[in-house]
Structure 1
Amino acid sequence: MEVRSAPSLLPILRSRQQGEVLTYLMCDPDRETSMSELAHRVGVPLSSVHREVERAEAAGIITSRRSGNTRFVRADTDSPYYDSLSDLLVKAFGPPHVLAEALEGVEGIEAAYVYGSWAARLHGVAGRRPVNDIDVLVLGEPDRAELYEALGGVEGRLGRPVNVVIRDAGWLRDGSGSFHATVTERPVVAIEIKKQLGRDPVPQSS
């Protein structure tokens, strides 16, 4: 789905899709991806990705190359804008990407999500104050010390404290109570941890 209005997380950008396309590329300076893979990863139509890439390359903040009929894109780390822009984008749109990287090495996680004010803002829910922390829900039986260490290591990069809540793998489906309602009745954003193949079903808002 195209989201054309200025994003609540960073209203200086033209649209949420612009922020997500640029963040995916700038979150990892070594990442090179095809246009179709980029569209798939950020959930944006290929035509919109093409427009955003054209604008970004014209501005000198990404670079591209062709191999046959496939166009590959990546962040231009030589750009004078790279350091400042990547830092800004990661803080605004990067929590799912940064958290996924941090949680890859933590055993026992069945699924993980960002919930609360950051997730709501990503989905366009307005708020009176800036997002001051990142709320993370982890499902499964992770080693708590390992989990806290992994999440503590990304707080500087995200520019905010990371608060984590741990629940059983089936909690989203079978849980109850006020906290369960708080999580499931508002938008949540899945943290796509590469080593995890399964996901507990969760109501998604968009």
Structure 2
Amino acid sequence: MILDSITEQCVDGRLKTLSDADLAQGLVDGDEECLTAAYRRWGTLVHTLAGRSLGDSREAEDVTQQVFLAAWQGRQGYRPERGAFAGWLVGITRRKIADALSARTRRTDLLAAAGALLGPLDDTYGRPETVLDRVLLRGELARLPASQRRVLHLAFYEDLTQTQIAQRTGWPLGTVKSHSRRGLHQLRRCLRAEAVG
């Protein structure tokens, strides 16, 4: 990945002295060194905006990387006549922050749904009926289609966001959301049927 070693790369003196417009044009033309220079020039701005909005340094780092990756992938969409390159980056940053906040909300909703399925954890954890519930839940999880089971496993056992699951699996974010929603609905139906039966 281009951004993996971006902070370790050296930028020659020529790139440091380029104007913002020339640097942006180099990036649009596909010059990876210009991406490195853009990261060095505006990375702190992007990280600060993300950090203030999200209140989490680690999430801000993720968003910063996503912003520059999105800028690289969408570089052909930059139009200098619409505004400065820094403003374009801020626009991408705002969208990535909104995505991160939405993912946080979805994660909270998923955890609440899982909590409703599993019930509260308390001193009954070792009681026979609780053990039976856990066995039942594992059995129902095992019956889910592999894709739904994988998404729920990554969400609950590895504490990944849906965006992170999409990155790990290579699936589109919408597909991850669908698998998650369908898997939770299927679990709810099966567990309710077991409770009634």
Higher strand share: 1
Larger relative contact order (CA 8 Å, sep ≥ 6) = 1
Larger radius of gyration: 2
